[in-house]
Amino acid sequence: EAQVTQNPRYLITVTGKKLTVTCSQNMNHEYMSWYRQDPGLGLRQIYYSMNVEVTDKGDVPEGYKVSRKEKRNFPLILESPSPNQTSLYFCASSTQGSGYGYTFGSGTRLTVV
């Protein structure tokens, strides 16, 4: 089944403790992206990647890192999480760039205390 898989689904952590949210897609998509979703603000792009070893900042990249060493994986790294990073996170992938239909993961609900 074609899908984007995120892990974990839920995560509670403490301020400053490094964490990684994994994202993997099995559709051989070139384009992958991370979003956060907060009430009243909609989906905001954190980082995106056009292909392996090519990443770029989205609208809200502060406090996040990404890497794209393999085509299928696009992990999101929070080096020193803070409470304002409490949010619902989505990974998405698409073929031929962002102008085509996205497939979204099921989401990761992160709480930083």
Partner 1 sequence: KNQVEQSPQSLIILEGKNCTLQCNYTVSPFSNLRWYKQDTGRGPVSLTIMTFSENTKSNGRYTATLDADTKQSSLHITASQLSDSASYICVVSGEYSDKIIFGKGTRLHILP
Interface residues with partner 1 (CB under 8 A) are 4, 31, 40-45, 48, 50, 56, 58, 88, 90, 92, 97-102, 104-107, 109
Q: State how far the Cα of 2 lies from the Cα of 36, in Å rounded to an integer.
A: 22
Give the shortest CB-111-to-partner 1 separation in angstroms. Answer: 13
Q: Which residues pair with 106 in a beta bridge?
A: none
Going by C-alpha positions, the residue among 49, 52, 73 that lies closest to residue 61 is: 49
In this complex, which beta carbon is closest to partner 1, that of residue 84 or of residue 106?
106
Give the shortest CB-81-to-partner 1 separation in angstroms. Answer: 20
Residues with Cβ within 8 Å of 56's Cβ and at least 6 positions away in sequence, in order, are 47, 48, 49, 50
In this complex, which beta carbon is closest to partner 1, that of residue 80 or of residue 99?
99
